[in-house]
Chains A and B, each alone.
Chain A
Amino acid sequence: MEGLKKSILASLWFMFLTLPIMGVFVNTIDKSVTWHLDRVLCVGVAAFVLSFLWRYMLEQKDKGRQEEEASSVEKVTFFNKLISSPKFYWPALVGVAVFAIAFPKLFSMYQVNVMTTALIYVVLGLGLNIVVGLAGLLDLGFVAFYAVGAYSYALMNMYWGISFWVALPLGALLGAICGILLGFPVLRLRGDYLAIVTLGFGEIIRLVLENWGSFTNGPAGISNIARPEFFGFAKGFLAQINFMYYLMLVLVIFTIFVVNRLKNSRIGRAWQALREDEIACQAMGIDKMKTKLMAFSLGATWAGMVGVVFAAKTTFINPASFTFLESAIILSIVVLGGMGSILGVILGALVLILLPEYMREFSEYRMLIFGAVMVLVMVFRPQGLVRDVRKKIDISAVKKALGGAHE
């Protein structure tokens, strides 16, 4: 009964809230007013139903938290079970590998192109995952490094005719340098200040690209960027698209390999310590400065490298591809997938990039859903799709090995 009353109130409240924005449209040119009260009614009904769901979910979350606290055992999700047992792990990996290699043979050129884009976001997500997921530094201007990579190839190609294969490491290097340049002054800042500085930096880069017309062609962008040469292999348009796909696939595997190695290395563990508690981390003798710089520049390296690939793939770039929204999309890939988890980020990128692509009529609402999902995930499932499982050391076994010296 109590719940019903609350839901009716919520429904009325949301109808009130949406009335002027959704219910009325004022045409300011011919001064006519169109009413859409049906939309407001829909909102009311939806709010009524959803408010039940909302309360139920919040209750479940509270219950879950209490249980977890009581039993002190972390819940293991389906995905974690899947990746932790070799019985599932190897066949799944082989299956994915075969599918990935055969992909261009099975599907049309359009699909291959879409998949290449998704793979670009996988690498971007993994790069940002180093900064946000592992080191806990919220970077809202990640797309700036992506832009640095893309523009460095486009400009070098335009002015000096530098080829793709030379530009690829150069783009990565320039990304890393920019990461260090930005990282150096902002290291002292705490979480949310850092977020704002990086956002400001990203916007500055975009605005400069847009306004420095004599050098970057301004908002018109740079077209006719050369596609990569595959040492005489790929002649013709179709073959080039397929090769682009394979190139991205190699890059993804390379990224996964490196990030995975990094995660459990000394620096990777330092990042995770930094994420958990900065002061305690410093007290353990970790050089905060160096650790943060490494995270920033390594993340930026991937973005710079993928930027080069992006410029070569689309053969046209302009500043509109590098807005804050793009940064937000990459961030939501990391957050929704599960911060710190490599598998999570890959799944997040595939879901977020492929779903809107295959649901065309849906795509208008894409950003609306993005925003809503970001809020909902934070409220109900802060750890994302796949929870990052950390390596644990069994302390009792260590004690036994030490011969119970502490008894």
Chain B
Amino acid sequence: MEYFLELFFSGLTRGSIYALIALGYTMVYGIIELINFAHGEIYMIGAFVGLVVAGVLSSFGFPAASIVILATIAAVIYAASYGYTIEKIAYRPLRGAPRLSPLISAIGMSIFLQNYVMLSQTSDFLSFPSLIPEFGFLKNYESMIGSTDFLIIAVAAIVMVGLNLFIKFTRMGKAMRATAQNRKMAMLVGINVDQVISATFVIGSALAAIGGVLIASHIGQINFFIGFIAGIKAFTAAVLGGIGSVPGAMLGGLILGWTESFCTGYVSSDYEDVFAFALLVLILIFRPSGLLGKAPIQKV
């Protein structure tokens, strides 16, 4: 039982991170039907900015609490800026091109960003400072859930509730839903579609950066390649829940997190990534629209 609970909580932590990144995929896909391959790299860049800012601030002797907040804010701002720029350079000129073109452009962008970070930083693993202070509470469960796990789950939950409220009630959220439903119609009723798409990229990237800083602080090391695997897994989560659906991404993230955690715990730890990929292939084959997604209507 003890072991089961431990796996349950580690799955919950992983799942929350996957869900945070998956939101970016699902929002972008919902609006422009593009798999933003470079999204994993945004997450990686968020983690690197967090590392660099934390390093610089601590060399100036800032107190620990302000470092956490400033590094996270910087990561969020930078990831959002990168997301905005990527959309403008690599995807906007390709509106109306055949479907394969933006996808290939996205793969190119992903390779470019990986190598850009690798060449300007290093290809080695860098140790990430443990930004989140260890605090002792939940004494009875300490062996199962640490303070970082707890914080990750809490932040992810808060962010998701906030995002849902944003999409439901704000003007921009309504514009996003309208654009997702029918872009031409949205344009006709006076929605600035370009602005909506930019906003989608900015919000999705900011969420990925939060995930990046949290997980980097949890695991303790990063390198330029972490975005690739995390991106694919978050994409799996998005597909699992039904791509285009925001609650679906959260559900998908959690299911993927638990699947991985229980499979590695009870079956074998060598094949950790294989389980995630196998789950992805199976879902796409048997239920391509995901758990909460709607089956796409084929337009003639």
Contact = CB atoms under 8 A, between A and B. Distances in A.
A134 B280 CA distance: 27
Given A21-B117, A328-B111, A372-B112, A136 B100 contact: yes
Interface stretch (B78-86, B143-151, B195-203, B250-258): B78-86
Interface string A190-220: 1111011101110110011001000000000
By Cβ-Cβ distance, the 4 closest A-B pairs, closest first, are: A374-B108, A371-B112, A26-B55, A371-B111
B168 to A, nearest CB: 28
Q: Which of A33, A132, A140, A332 has the most CB of B within 10 A?
A: A33
A28 B50 CA distance: 13
Interface residues of B, number: 70
Nearest to B81: A17
5 contacts: A24-B56, A186-B285, A371-B115, A375-B90, A378-B97
A191 B35 CA distance: 11
A295 interface: no
Contacts of A332: 108
B49 interface: yes
A375 B109 contact: yes
Contacts of B274: 204, 207-208, 211
Interface in B104-127: 104-105, 107-117, 119-122, 126-127
A254 interface: no
Interface stretch (A149-157, A224-232, A245-253, A362-370): A362-370
A374 B106 CA distance: 9
Interface of B: 33-35, 45, 48-49, 51-56, 58-59, 74, 78, 81-82, 85, 89-90, 93-94, 97-105, 107-117, 119-122, 126-129, 228, 232, 235-236, 239, 270-271, 273-274, 277-278, 280-281, 284-285, 288, 296, 298, 300
Contacts of A31: 55, 58-59
Interface in A348-378: 364-365, 367-368, 370-375, 378
Contacts of B284: 186, 189, 193, 196-197
Interface string A28-67: 1101110000010000000000000000001001000000
A20 B35 contact: no
A201 B281 contact: yes
A203 B93 contact: no
Contacts of A39: 120
A324 interface: yes
Interface of B is mostly: helix
Interface of A: 13, 16-18, 20-22, 24-26, 28-29, 31-33, 39, 58, 61, 132, 136, 138, 140, 185-186, 188-193, 195-197, 199-201, 203-204, 207-208, 211, 279, 324-325, 328, 331-332, 335, 364-365, 367-368, 370-375, 378-379, 382
A22 B55 CA distance: 14
Given A26-B52, A367-B111, A374 B104 contact: yes
Given A21-B120, A140-B107, A196-B284, 11 more contacts: A20-B48, A25-B122, A28-B55, A138-B103, A186-B284, A193-B239, A371-B112, A373-B108, A378-B94, A378-B97, A382-B94
B270 A371 contact: no
A209 to B, nearest CB: 11
Contact of B56 (A26, A328, A368): A26
Nearest to A25: B121
Q: Which of B98, B109, B111, B126 has the most CB of A within 10 A?
A: B111
Contacts of B93: 58, 61, 379
Contacts of A32: 59
B230 to A, nearest CB: 13
B99 A368 contact: no
B245 to A, nearest CB: 15
Contacts of B112: 368, 370-372, 374-375
